[in-house]
Chains A and B, each alone.
Chain A
Amino acid sequence: MDDDGLPTLAVWKFASCDGCQLTLLDCEDELLAVAGRVRIAHFLEASRAVLPGPYDVSLVEGSITTPEDAERIQRVRQMSRTLVTIGACATAGGVQALRNFADVDEFTSVVYAQPRYVSTLATSTPIAAHVDVDYELHGCPIDRRQLLEVITALLVGRKPNIPAHSVCFECKQRHAVCVVVAHGTPCLGPVTHAGCGALCPAHQRGCYGCFGPMESPNAAAEAGLLRATGMSEADIVRAYRTFNAAAPAFVELSRVTVGPPPAAGPGEVETERR
């Protein structure tokens, strides 16, 4: 707490697209109210004014991909009482973690004529691989309502109420027709963390997993389900290796490419999982 008695909020960026911190500026109706209840002490995308730490709450966007950033995150941790990672980059390495499955030197040479000028690590790793994290918010990008819930909860000192169930659950909550059952469309919803409100199924599209894995997904059942919709093994591996490529559960799921297709439809898959 500083002199005004307002808690201080800092926002940090590592390798990312800015989408998750932009989510805060996209809270058009709430932004000024939030700004009245916290002191924004470090948020370069929004302000030149920077107050010295320590900070009560730090929101961290982005993954660690350079030696400099591996050191910078240690300093951010030391300056932060509570550290919350926002988004798939910070929580699971992000889309840039696709390098983890490839040769980063070869990647560099594809993009840069003079790879030696470029300082980069061979991997993109989540923040929790480097420092203790108090809270992780999923999504690529994070959901605005979930972000506001975390900020308000932390302000009053309670635990944020963020459900850990799957997108299937949200699909049913909004009475969306299951695209697997209705159209045979592949869907990662049964293994994907809730939070978006089942956006893709509501738009007649299968979930592509942008919120990352839910807690303890049923790997075999999902592999069978995806295969039954006609996906090849390569398609399945690629589906997991996108925006949350370094999330351990998705790494694991991408390896489950053998086994019989399930007898059951997605409704039963969901039941079995629970």
Chain B
Amino acid sequence: MTHRSDRTLDVRALARVEGEGAMHVRVRGGAVEDVRLEIYEPPRFFEAFLRGRRYTEPPDITARICGICPVAYQMSACAAIEDACGVRVDGPIADLRRLLYCGEWIESHTLHIYLLHAPDFLGYPSALELAKDRRDLVERGLALKKAGNAIVELLGGRAIHPINVRVGGFYRAPAPSELAALARTLRVALDQALDTVQWAAGFEFPDFHHDHEMLALTTDGRYAIEGGTVATTGGLTFGPGDFEQHVIEEQVPHSTALHARLADRGRYLVGPAARYTLNRRWLSPLAREAADAAGLGEQCRNPYRSILVRAVEVVYAVEEALRLIDAYEPPARPAVDVPPRAGVGFGATEAPRGILFHRYGLDAEGLITTARIVPPTSQNQASIEDDLRRFVAARLDFDDERLTAECEQAIRNYDPCISCSTHFLDLTIDRG
């Protein structure tokens, strides 16, 4: 099986990723001829059936695109609709949104670190198998994830598809006493988050670097989460309103997720590594210290080390949540009024997996005329394929089973969210 110069590698159902996809590799004459990340998640047509719905509905409806990052969908939808209606939400309501989003970052990153990704580094098929030998580790992960979910449940009403989010803010704002109870949980979580960084720093990271242009939101004075200006490592900056001028989406035959590229510049990467590389200086001192101790430099260009960035972002999100809780003064009303008007609005926020863009057109009655959603994973597909091509080329002497396992791990570095991008890995290696 090994050392054949022509072969096909097929992963027919990728495990431990959110959604369903496959990978196809074709090797001819000892060289990698083609690598395709196939996303065969059935399309669900959200952009089509949002038309004709009321402008108040996208936060609930688009949440259903993804069970792991529903808050991101709700926040980008609210931002775009408020933009269309010419309303700005700030003060304590905006702070509550950031707090809710911190909860999703903690929950989603911890799920990925402990349940989906760490087993790769430790040689287990799943966290449940890992728990048989190291129950303490898995229990720590579950406790940290639970702390993130506790934020989402308190502010959102439930952990998956929160019911308390609306255009303009919330249906109900929490009492300071409710947040105080949460703060106690989060103080314990902060230690667990710091331990997670230290633990993951001990993993063995293959030597692999990429040079993709990276793209993330940035905001002065703090680590971008719920809004900001788009910036790239290549020096581009633009507001969410210009997103579609710069990001071109194309359909490719092998994927139900569209492929994105930067106009005149090509593939790019979004997600934690991009955020870290562009925004590191805005991390809290504690999170930055943890990053330094874990060996992350000014930039993160090794996809395997993205697990460390996620762990650092969890430290940041826990601290930020504590800060927001500390400063919390309940708003006079849980939401501001957002009267509809005809127009187009744009919203972009940092989902755990990277920037998530929404655009809605509204008519004067507030019915949606057009909708456009660009999720993070579809933006990353081209960069993932490029990395895999180089990755496979350096490992052609592995047998199919080992190469498949390593490709799966390589893909998991990006924490692809395939339900979002329409889902994962079925690997085919065609060696002829």
Contacts of A112 in B (CB 8 A): 43, 251, 258
A208 to B13, CA, bound (A): 35
Can you identify 26 A-B contacts, CB atoms within 8 angstroms?
A13-B20, A17-B70, A18-B68, A22-B160, A25-B111, A28-B145, A28-B146, A32-B138, A47-B129, A48-B126, A48-B408, A49-B125, A95-B44, A96-B42, A102-B48, A108-B45, A110-B48, A112-B43, A112-B251, A120-B42, A140-B64, A140-B161, A202-B157, A203-B172, A238-B57, A242-B60
Residues 56-73 (chain B) with a chain A CB within 8 angstroms: 57, 60-61, 64-68, 70
A13 to B288, CA, bound (A): 39
B158 CB-CB contact with A under 8 Å: yes
Contacts of A140 in B (CB 8 A): 64, 161
B143 CB-CB contact with A under 8 Å: yes
CB distance from B49 to the nearest CB of A (A): 4
Contacts of B157 in A (CB 8 A): 199-200, 202-203
Contacts of A204 in B (CB 8 A): 171-172
Residues 223-251 (chain A) with a chain B CB within 8 angstroms: 235, 238, 242-243
Contacts of A118 in B (CB 8 A): 43, 256
Contacts of B19 in A (CB 8 A): 13, 18
CB distance from A33 to the nearest CB of B (A): 11
Which residue from chain A places its CB closest to the CB of B373 in the assembled complex?
A111
A: number of interface residues (CB 8 Å)? 62
B410 CB-CB contact with A under 8 Å: no
Asked whether B45 lies within 8 Å of A96 as measured between CB atoms, the reply is yes
Contacts of A141 in B (CB 8 A): 67, 158, 160-161
B235 CB-CB contact with A under 8 Å: no
Q: What are the interface flags for A33-68 relative to B under an 8 Å C-beta threshold, 1 for contact and 0 otherwise?
A: 001000010001111111000000000000001100
A140 to B127, CA, bound (A): 26
**Of the candidates B41, B42, B51, B143, which one forms a contact with A28 in the assembled complex, judged by CB atoms under 8 Å apart?**
B143
Asked whether B65 lies within 8 Å of A17 as measured between CB atoms, the reply is yes
B209 CB-CB contact with A under 8 Å: no
Asked whether A17 lies within 8 Å of B48 as measured between CB atoms, the reply is no
**Of the candidates B18, B61, B119, B125, which one forms a contact with A45 in the assembled complex, judged by CB atoms under 8 Å apart?**
B18
Asked whether B253 lies within 8 Å of A114 as measured between CB atoms, the reply is yes
Asked whether A117 lies within 8 Å of B251 as measured between CB atoms, the reply is yes
Asked whether A40 lies within 8 Å of B67 as measured between CB atoms, the reply is no
Asked whether A17 lies within 8 Å of B115 as measured between CB atoms, the reply is no
Contacts of A102 in B (CB 8 A): 48-49
A83 CB-CB contact with B under 8 Å: no
**Of the candidates A19, A111, A243, which one forms a contact with B160 in the assembled complex, judged by CB atoms under 8 Å apart?**
A19
Asked whether B138 lies within 8 Å of A44 as measured between CB atoms, the reply is no
A51 to B179, CA, bound (A): 44
B135 CB-CB contact with A under 8 Å: yes
A210 CB-CB contact with B under 8 Å: yes
